A and B are shown apart, each in its own frame.
Chain A
Amino acid sequence: MVFNTGAALLDAIVLSVVSAEAEGTYGYHITQEVRELLDVSESTLYPVLRRLQRDNCLSVYDKEYAGRNRRYYRITQQGMAQLNMYRGEWQIYSARITSILFAGRSSE
């Protein structure tokens, strides 16, 4: 990707991925989902998840799976509010960029 984007986008994507599952989802799954969209290294997402957890955007709980522990991340109300804010901001931002990049193309 040639465009540089700040870490807020990563927060938004992680929140969106987590919010897709009502029961929450686990770190490995989140990483694989994000890696399908963005070229991030696998270790990048732990600090993001930890920060979102500290900011009360995500809550965690442990569940046994196949004889070992699996930590699930679930979006909180505060996280949902943050995600909605990101969604609104992204719509405004992307619409502006689109209007500039594709200005006059429809009349051509």
Chain B
Amino acid sequence: MKKEVFLKELEYLLLDLPCEEQKEALAYFRDYLGEADDEEEAVRRLGSPEKVAAQIKAGLSDETGGEFTERGYQDGHFREDYQVPDQYAEMAVSGKDSGKEASDGNGCEEKQESGFADGADPEGCCWDSFAREGKSCREEWSKWRREKEQRYESRWEGTCREKENRQEKEAPRWWEYKEPKKERGSFFLFLCLLIFGLLAAKALLEAGFSVLGGILGVVFGILGSVFGLIFAALMGAIAAAGTGIGLIGAGIANLSSPAVGTMLIAGGFFLLAAAVLLLLLAGWGCSTAVPWMIRLVRNAARAVGLWLGRIFDSQRRMRGDSV
């Protein structure tokens, strides 16, 4: 049997399978036979198309019925009179080199060559199994199609090739392609959304400025308080130191009355200690708290600047888009 005859028969026998499986299997066996030095010998070694089709179909089912026996790999699915479409089961003849029979006397080979070359459906073809039965390929094909159409009614969409041809015809050519019309409704919707978006952005911006003002007020309030506290501590330290020195002086002057003098001196030292504490507090404020506050304000200002920049950018972009 010739390669093309084998592939054509196999294609027919796999028509029940999904298109992808048909294509994969046919491509594999076309490649496979293309590798062989002697195509007809390779076809003979593969076995009949019915057997190959049965193996492919069995491989797609979940059953794994095959096993190695003393006669090699065996699987009940692969008997040549098995798994072919029911109405043609009797046509599968096992163990014969059907290629020779097909060419006997009825001039089929010439018809096969011409029929297959243009890729037409069995128009003019003459498959071996049909030839052996003395049946017309065209009639058998018509019969098969009628049965399919009756069985699947409207769900039958034809063979893979017919489906592909139809899809190709239905798909618009590039010169026929037209831009789909834009609906006016969607334009108005876009306009409404744009206006609403701008208004919402404005309101949000205003609200944002109010919030920003509040935040700045709080920050500057805290900053002012800290400066105030440092200033107060400094002033307090000076006052306490002055008062303490004064009290110590008064205490020394009143040492004639030891109890009064001692109390005044002690009070003076206590105030001096308080002055030192206040001075330390003012010093910590100046060295630590004030720089920290300055850093805080600077970072906050930078963050606010970035935020405002982003808002203005997005607004500018929106205006640009709308123009």
Contact = CB atoms under 8 A, between A and B. Distances in A.
A29, A40, A43, A69: most-surrounded residue (chain B CB, <10 A) = A43
Contacts of B47: 41-43
A27 B32 contact: yes
Contact of A47 (B31, B55, B68, B70): B55
B273 interface: no
B46 A43 contact: yes
A46 interface: yes
A10 B36 contact: no
Interface in A38-81: 38-44, 46-51, 68-71
Interface stretch (A1-9, A16-24, A83-91, A94-102): A1-9
A48 B28 CA distance: 12
Interface residues of B, number: 31
A1 B71 CA distance: 7
A40 B55 CA distance: 12
A71 B27 contact: yes
Contacts, number: 91
Interface string B20-35: 0100110111011011
B42 interface: yes
Nearest to A28: B35
B73 A42 contact: no
B59 A47 contact: yes
Interface string B56-86: 1011100010111111110000000000000
A3 B73 CA distance: 11
Contacts of A47: 55-56, 58-60
- Chain A interface size, as a band, is 20 to 34
A46 B28 contact: yes
Contacts of A71: 27-28, 31
A26 B31 contact: yes
Contacts of B58: 47
Nearest to A69: B31
B8 interface: no
Given A46-B28, A70-B31, A4 B68 contact: yes
B55 A28 contact: no
B64 A6 contact: yes
Contact of B55 (A27, A39, A46, A68): A46
B68 A46 contact: no
Given A6-B67, A10-B73, A46 B31 contact: no
Nearest to B29: A46
Nearest to B57: A47
A26 B35 contact: yes
B24 A50 contact: yes
Given A1-B68, A43-B46, 15 more contacts: A1-B69, A1-B70, A4-B67, A5-B67, A27-B32, A28-B35, A28-B36, A29-B35, A40-B72, A41-B46, A42-B32, A46-B32, A47-B55, A50-B28, A51-B59
9 contacts: A2-B70, A28-B35, A31-B32, A39-B72, A40-B73, A43-B47, A47-B59, A50-B21, A50-B24
